[in-house]
Amino acid sequence: MIRKLDIISKYSKYFVRNVRNQSTRPMCDTISVCNRNYPTDSWTNITPNILSYQGRNIYMKKNHPLSILRQQIVNYFYKTFVNPKGNAIFSVFDNLAPVVTPEQNFDQLLIPKDHPSRSKSDCYYVNEKHLLRAHTTAHQVDLLKSGLDNYLIVGDVYRRDEINATHFPVFHQIDAVRTLHRDKLFKNNPELEIFETNFKTSPTSFLPIKSSLKCIDQTKQPCHTMEAVKLMEHELKTVLVRLAQTLFGKDIEYRWVDSYFPFTQPSWELEVYWKGEWLELLGSGIMRNEILEAAGIGNTIGWAFGVGLERLAMVLFEIPDIRLFWSNDSGFLNQFKEEDFGKHMKYKPISIYPQCANDLSFWLPDNMGVDDFVGNDFNDVVRDVAGDIVEQVSLIDKFKHPKTGKSSLCFRIVYRHMEKTLTQNEVNEIHSKITTTVEKRFNVKIR
């Protein structure tokens, strides 16, 4: 099953999609991730290909476009929020290990137990108790518990997804949290309160059992006063619009769009008008009070946002293919200079290498229908065997034989190397390796 998502949707769509689950068999009893050994189980679905990106830290490499963008955003927060002595009040975390628990990635953020974003077909699980974070928001409660009130976290995140020019299973996000205690928020109006009188949230009942119980009142959470929410909303929107102007230029056209995230209420996305279309830039909102309560923080309200770096960098620097960020080619890397941000820093193609497309059709096992096949499992096999030379995988045909009742699928795999021309022979060899692996792994019959 291939899900055709809006190519650039990484945010709220992640919280509303629907996928199926399929079991996988780990090859070994243990797996080593970030220098730690974990026992494998039926949840383990991290592939060697995914592990190979671990520790490359491209977002920290000087003059890498992702690093330039990271630095711009961090500098903006350092400059915007200072204490009376002139010191920056935001702390920055850029090297937290990406292995987290489902509690951190989902439960603590109030993502319902039955939510599809938890499924094995969407996430890379180390085992039942650990996964590679699917968003940097996963560290929110831990950082709040450790006493932080304003912070940014930058890091790599992992999602199983389709293969094309804008999706890659490893990408980078920045998440920010800004909290204010009543005494600071209302320092000029000490008679005002953050919370409605007589309203209590209950930390024990904060995790909704069913997605359908999500609260979507866009005005405010019941516990908050309108004054507190409006002040925070005003700060959030002002700060984030100025961030967009810092990145895209003073004259950028923008709009706020209502959104939904389980961990914020109300929630908004900021969109900017760029080259003829509205681009979703970031997700944000007023933090759910249950999260602050669970972290043991009282009489405080917060706002938060999350932004994906690749998509922003692709737009700003006109980088056409997400795989380029992983390139070691100096022809790519030398094009970007930190100090040139704001000047005309646009990607110039190193060279255009030709594509090569090969199809792969197979009959599914007798008991399987076309919708039982998990596209992301197929994508991971393709990535594991062929690596980054695959530019796109698309499901081009589904067929059910009228007599035998057997179902078949046909995938088109488009190959293109970022740094050289691939010969048809090289492609054929890799394609046939994919074919035999797919045959064994999914118990299918090649047509």
* Binding site residues, ligand DAH, CB under 6 A: 10-11, 14, 135, 137, 175, 261, 264, 283-285, 304-306
Query: In terms of CB distance, is 302 or 418 closer to ligand DAH?
Result: 302
Query: In terms of CB distance, is 284 or 376 closer to ligand DAH?
Result: 284
Query: In terms of CB distance, is 287 or 393 closer to ligand DAH?
Result: 287
Backbone angles phi, psi at 440, to 5 degrees: -70, -45
Least Å distance, CB 377 to ligand DAH, is: 22
Residue 283 to residue 261: CA distance in whole angstroms: 8
Going by their DSSP bridges, the two strands 150-158 and 91-93 should be labelled as parallel
Least Å distance, CB 83 to ligand DAH, is: 23
Query: In terms of CB distance, is 73 or 427 closer to ligand DAH?
Result: 73
Backbone angles phi, psi at 283, to 5 degrees: -110, 145
Query: In terms of CB distance, is 11 or 106 closer to ligand DAH?
Result: 11
DSSP notation for 252-286 = -EEEEEEEEETTEEEEEEEEEEETTEEEEEEEEEE
Least Å distance, CB 316 to ligand DAH, is: 19
Query: In terms of CB distance, is 206 or 363 closer to ligand DAH?
Result: 206
Least Å distance, CB 134 to ligand DAH, is: 7
Least Å distance, CB 173 to ligand DAH, is: 6
The answer to whether the CB of 71 falls within 8 A of the CB of 338 is yes
Residue with the closest Cβ to ligand DAH?
Answer: 306
Least Å distance, CB 264 to ligand DAH, is: 4
CA geometry: angle 380, 308, 151, nearest 5 deg: 125
Least Å distance, CB 10 to ligand DAH, is: 6
Least Å distance, CB 288 to ligand DAH, is: 9
260-281 in b/e form (b: 16+ CB < 10 A) is: bbbbbbbbbbbbbeeeeeebbb
The answer to whether the CB of 21 falls within 8 A of the CB of 36 is no
Least Å distance, CB 135 to ligand DAH, is: 3
Q: Within 13 Å and on the Cβ side, how many CA atoms surround 361?
A: 9
Sheet of 125-127, strand order = 99-100, 130-132, 125-127
The answer to whether the CB of 29 falls within 8 A of the CB of 37 is no
Query: In terms of CB distance, is 270 or 324 closer to ligand DAH?
Result: 270
Query: In terms of CB distance, is 264 or 407 closer to ligand DAH?
Result: 264
Residue 126 to residue 41: CA distance in whole angstroms: 8
What is residue 232's three-state secondary structure? helix
Query: In terms of CB distance, is 288 or 416 closer to ligand DAH?
Result: 288
Residue 381 to residue 431: CA distance in whole angstroms: 12
